[in-house]
Amino acid sequence: MSVVEEIDLPVIGMTCTACARHIENRLNSLPGVQASVNYATESAHVAMPPGTTVDVLVEAVRAAGYDAVAPDSGVSIEEAAAAEVRATRLHFWVSLAFAIPVSLLSMIAALQFTGWQWVVLALAVPVVTWGAWPFHRATWLNLRHGTATMDTLISMGVTAAFLWSAWAVLLGGAGSLDYHGAHGLGSMGDAMELPALYFEVAAAVPVFVLAGRWFEARAKRRSSSAIRALLTLQIADATVLVDGVEQLVPLARLRVGDHFIARPGERIATDGEVVAGESAVDEALLTGESVPIAVAPGSRVVGATINLDGRLEVRATGVGADTRIAQIAQLVTAAQSGKAPIQRLADRVSAVFVPAVLAAALLTLALWLVTGHPAQQAFSAAVAVLIIACPCALGLATPIALLVGTGRGAQLGIVIRGPETLEQSRRVTTVLLDKTGTVTTGQVQVRQVLPAPGLNTGAVLDAAGPIEAYSEHPLARAIAGQPHVQAQVSEFRSHPGRGAQGQVDGRAIVVGSPSWVIEHATSPGVDDWFAPAVQQAQREGLAQVGVSRDGRIIGLITLADSVRGSSAQAVRALVDMGIEPILLTGDSAIVGRVVADEVGIAQVIAEVRPEGKVAMVQEHQAAGRVVAMVGDGVNDAAALVQADLGIAMSAGSDVAIEASDITLVRNDLLAAVDALRLSRRTLRTIRGNLFWAFAYNVAMIPLAAIGLLSPLLAGAAMAFSSVFVVANSLRLRRFQPIAPVRS
C-alpha cells in the first residue's frame, strides 16, 4: 500500500472564496492529489502520492495565477505575508505621491498652467497602471472565475476614467493649450462642448482603497501568530537524568520514558508523571485558574506549566505533537481552518452592481446607435455611464469609517483587527465569558480569616504572615500581604505542595493545607470548629490554609479569586443589548456558580478544558447562534478563534491576544461591551457610507445614459458624495463608553 504524504502549503494572492475554489480545482486535477484550500487561513492542505513533489504543487498554484511558499524554500509564510504588506504600502505611497499633484491641478483652476493637462496625463499613468495593478490583477482572476468584487469595480472605474480622459487629451480636443476642463461630461446634444477630464478620479480612487487594504493587511496573519505564540511557551532545553547525572539536552531530543528535572520557577519541559518530589504547579495555562495545584509522586503534570516551589523529577509521557500544548495549537489551527471566511460587504454589493453597470453601459451604447446618433456620441454616453459608476466615495466608505472607528477604539482601550470583525459584531447573540482573568481579576485574595474560639483575626495573621512572607507561593503572597506584625522568623522550612513552618518570636508556627496542619496539631478539638469550617469553605469553592501555633490550630484562612468591580454592570449591559452571557470555567461548578450569582449570569459551564471550550462554541453555533468569546488565557485561544468574534484581555497571554479579533487594553469587562457597541456603530456608519456612495452612482447613471449630465452637476455630486462619507465617518469620534475611561 502506497504512503500518502500530507502537507500544508501556504498560498498567496487569494482575494475571494472563488480564488480558493479555483486553486483547489487546479491542484485536484493533478494525478492522485487531494487538496482542500482554505481562504481564511490562506493555505492548501494537500495529500499527494509518492512521486509528486512540492515543486509540482507550487507550479500548479502559479499556473492558476497565484503563488505558493514551499516548506523547504527557506521562505516562511510570515516573511511572505510581510512582503505582501510591504508591497501594499509601497503601492500606496508611490500612488499618493503622484495622485496629489494630479488632484490639485485637476480641481484648482488657479494652479492650472498652459499644457497642464498633458502633465496630469503623464502623472496619472503610474498610478493607473502600476499603483492600481493589484486591482487589475484581482479583477482578471475574478473574471476567470465568473465573479465580480470591489476590485472589479475599482479596476473598471479607474480604467474607464483614465481611458476617457486620455482619449479626450490625445484625440478629443482637450489637449489644446488653452483648455480648462471641469468635472463631468457635457450634454451629448452640444457637439461643440469639449469633453471633461477625470484624471483625478483615476488617480485618487486607487489611493483611497490602497490605504484601506494596507490597514487590513497589517492585521491579517492571525492564526499563524497565535500558533507561534503558543510554541514560544515551550522551553528550548530540558534537564534529563542519564544514569543519575543531569544533562541539558534540546527539547526535540526528549523521548517518552526519559526522566527530567523541573526546578522551582521553571516551566515543565513536557507532559509527564511525577516520580519524586512535591511542589505546587501553576496550571493557569490550561485551566485558567489562579490557584496552583499540589503535585506529588504519581501526579500528572503538563508541559509548559510552571513549577512553583519544589524540585520535581518527572517521567516524560508525551512529547512533540502528543503534548497538551501541541494539541491546543492543533485546536487553534483547526478552528481557524473551519471558520467561514467573511466576504466584504462592498464585495457583495459589487457582485450585483458591476454586472448592472456593464449592462447599463452596453444598453446605452446600443440605444444611441439604434436611434441614429453618431458612433462617437454613443460611445461617449456609454463611457459616461462607466465613469459615473467609478466608486470615488465608495473607495472612502470603508477605510475612513474604519480609521475613525478604530482610532476612537484605541482611545478607549479597544483594538479592532479589521472590517470582518465589525461585520460579525452586529450579529452576536451569545457571549461566552471565561471566568478567571475576565469576569474575575485572576489574582488570589484573602476572602475570610476564621479564628479559633477565643482568638481574633489579628492573632491568626500575626502568626501566619511572617511565615508566608518567606514563601513565593501565590496563596502565601496573598496572606503575607495582609496587615500583620513584623516578627523575627527562624528555623523556616518549606514543604512544597503542603505548606511551611518555622519559629515566630519563639513559637512554633505551621501554615499550610488543612490536612497537613491537622497532622502537626497536638491539641484536641479540631472537629469542634475547624473541620466544619473547612467543609463549608470547600462547598463554597474557596482555597483553604490552616494555621497552628505551638501545636494548637488557631485559624483557617480562605482565599479566592475576586470578581472585577465592573463585571456585574457589564453583564447587565450585555443583557440589555439582547445578548445572552454564559460563564465558562475550568474550576468546579461550585466556584463557577458563586461567581455567576455575584455578577448575574444565569448559565454556568464548569470544569471545561480547552477542547471543551471549543466544543461549547461549536455547539452554540450549530444551534444557529452567533457566538462571541471573551478570554485571556492560552486555554481560551482555540475557542477565541472558533468563535464568530474573539475578544481578549491584553493582560492575558500573548496567545489569546494573537488569536482574538478584538483586544481590550483596558482589563475591564465593560470594555468588551464597549467594543461590541463601537463595532456595531462603526459597521452602521460603513453601511450608511456605502448606501450613499452607491445611491450617488445609481442616481447619476440614468443622467449619463441620456446625455444630460452637465459638468457642474457631475462635479458637485461627486464632491458632495465624498464629503458626506467623510463627515458621516467623523461622527464616530463622538462615541462614548458606558463608563468614564481614565486616560
Render pLDDT for 575-603 as a digit per residue (tens, 0 to 9): 999 999 999 887 778 888 888 988 999 99
Clarify whether 434 is annotated catalytic: yes
Which pLDDT does position 527 carry in this prediction? Answer: 60
> What CATH number is attached to the domain comprising 28?
3.30.70.100
Tell which wins on pLDDT, 524 or 204.
Answer: 204
- The per-residue pLDDT for range 720-738, each reduced to its tens digit, is 676 777 788 888 888 888 8
Domain of residue 41 covers: 5-75
Q: Does some domain include residue 58?
A: yes
**C-alpha neighbours within 13 Å on the C-beta side of residue 131:** 27
Between CA 425 and CA 672 the distance in angstroms is 11
Q: Does some domain include residue 251?
A: yes
192's grid cell: 461643440
Q: Does some domain include residue 396?
A: no
CA 70 to chain centroid, in Å, comes to: 26
Q: Does some domain include residue 27?
A: yes
Among 520, 546, 562, the domain-final residue is 562
Between CA 415 and CA 439 the distance in angstroms is 19
Among 532, 562, 592, the domain-final residue is 562
- Provide the β-strand partners of residue 553: 548
Which pLDDT does position 341 carry in this prediction? Answer: 47
Instruction: Output DSSP code: residue 482.
Output: S
3-state secondary structure 196-226: CCCHHHHHHHHHHHHHHHHHHHCCCCHHHHH
Cα dihedral sign, 336-340-345-347: positive
Backbone angle region of 147, left / alpha / beta, with phi > 0 → left and psi within -120 to 50 → alpha: beta
- The per-residue pLDDT for range 83-112, each reduced to its tens digit, is 777 888 899 999 999 999 998 888 787 888
Which pLDDT does position 340 carry in this prediction? Answer: 45
**C-alpha neighbours within 13 Å on the C-beta side of residue 292:** 27
Between CA 287 and CA 300 the distance in angstroms is 14
Kind and range of the H or E run holding 520: helix 514-520
Q: Does some domain include residue 583?
A: no
pLDDT, mean of residues 55-60: 89
Residue 210 · residue 95 · CB < 8 Å: yes
Coil, strand or helix: which one is 360? helix
Out of 22-36, 383-397, 419-433, which region has the weakest mean confidence (pLDDT)?
383-397
Candidates 434, 632, 636, 644; catalytic one = 434
Which pLDDT does position 184 carry in this prediction? Answer: 41
Q: Does some domain include residue 508?
A: yes
Instruction: Output DSSP code: residue 266.
Output: P
Closest C-alpha among 395, 387, 353 to residue 157: 387
Query: 725 vs 98, 154, 203, 225, CA distance in Å?
Result: 23, 17, 19, 34
User: Other CB atoms closer than 10 Å to residue 379's CB: what's the count?
Assistant: 17
Which pLDDT does position 345 carry in this prediction? Answer: 61
Task: Work out the mean pLDDT of the chain and round it to a whole number.
Answer: 79
pLDDT class of 138 with cuts at 50, 70, 90: confident
Tell which wins on pLDDT, 245 or 391.
Answer: 245
pLDDT, mean of residues 411-435: 79
Task: Map grid coordinates 465580480 to a residue.
Answer: 148
- The per-residue pLDDT for range 290-347, each reduced to its tens digit, is 667 788 898 888 888 888 878 899 999 888 777 777 766 665 555 555 444 444 566 6
Q: Does some domain include residue 47?
A: yes
Q: Beta strand 5-12 with 43-48: parallel, antiparallel or unpaired?
A: antiparallel
Residue 196 phi, psi dihedral angles, 5° rounding? -85, 160
Closest C-alpha among 493, 529, 534, 344 to residue 420: 344
Residue 707 · residue 450 · CB < 8 Å: no
Burial letters 523-533, b for 16+ CB under 10 A, else e: eeebeeebeeb
Residue 473: pLDDT over 50 = yes
Instruction: Output DSSP code: residue 737.
Output: -
Tell which wins on pLDDT, 129 or 651.
Answer: 129
Between CA 195 and CA 679 the distance in angstroms is 44
Among 508, 536, 562, the domain-final residue is 562
> What CATH number is attached to the domain comprising 502?
3.40.1110.10
Burial letters 617-639, b for 16+ CB under 10 A, else e: bbebbeeebbbbbbbbbbbbbbb
Backbone angle region of 63, left / alpha / beta, with phi > 0 → left and psi within -120 to 50 → alpha: alpha
- The per-residue pLDDT for range 361-400, each reduced to its tens digit, is 889 889 988 988 877 677 767 777 776 665 556 666 776 7
Residue 279 · residue 270 · CB < 8 Å: no
Q: How many domains does the chain have?
A: 3
Which pLDDT does position 249 carry in this prediction? Answer: 85
pLDDT class of 423 with cuts at 50, 70, 90: low
45's grid cell: 492542505
Residues 6+ apart with CB under 8 A from 263: 239, 307, 311
pLDDT, mean of residues 663-670: 80
Task: Map grid coordinates 456605502 to a residue.
Answer: 690
Residues 6+ apart with CB under 8 A from 472: 264, 265, 308, 309
Residue 693 · residue 394 · CB < 8 Å: yes
Closest C-alpha among 69, 30, 26, 23 to residue 52: 30
Q: Does some domain include residue 24?
A: yes
